[in-house]
Amino acid sequence: MKGTYLGEFEELVLLTVAMLEDEGYGISVKQEVEQRTKRTINLSAIHSTLYRLEKKGFLNSRLGEATKVRGGKRKRIFYITPFGVKGLKAAKSLREDIWNSIPTYVLQK
C-alpha cells in the first residue's frame, strides 16, 4: 500500500476538502484548517498537500470559471474521490480501534 498512506496533515486536508464539497480550493482549505486547528498554515503547504493527495488518487480537481475578482484567473477546485472516501473511512476505523483498545483507567489519569 505504498504511496497511499495518509499522514495527519493529509488527513486534515482531505477531510476539509470533503466537507467543503465544491468550494475546496487552496485558500478555502487553508482558512478552514487554520480555523479548526488553531494553527497558522502556509498556503504552499496546503497546495503541495492537495496535489500530493491528487497524485495518490484521494482527490481529483477541475478548473473553475474565471472571475473578475481573481483578475480573470480560474481556481483549481478539488473534490474527494471514492478512493479518498475509502481512505478516510479506513483511517477513522483504525483510530477508533486503537482508541477502543486503550484501557479505561489509562484515560482517567
Q: What is the DSSP string of 63-82?
A: EEEE-TTTTTPEEEEEEE-H
- DSSP label at 10? H
Mean pLDDT of 52-71: 86
Please state, for a pLDDT cut of 90, what percent of the chain lies above it: 80
In this model, does residue 1 exceed pLDDT 50?
Answer: no
How far is residue 102's CA from residue 87's CA, in Å, rounded to a whole number? 23
* Tens-digit pLDDT profile for residues 12-22: 999 999 999 98
Pick the CATH number of 8-107 from 1.10.10.10, 3.40.50.620, 2.40.30.10, 3.40.50.300: 1.10.10.10
**Contact in structure between 23 and 61 (CB atoms under 8 Å):** no
Q: What does the alpha-carbon distance between residue 45 and residue 29 come to, in Å, rounded to a whole number?
A: 11
Residue type at position 12:
L
In this model, does residue 5 exceed pLDDT 90?
Answer: no
The yes-or-no verdict on residue 71 having pLDDT over 80 is no
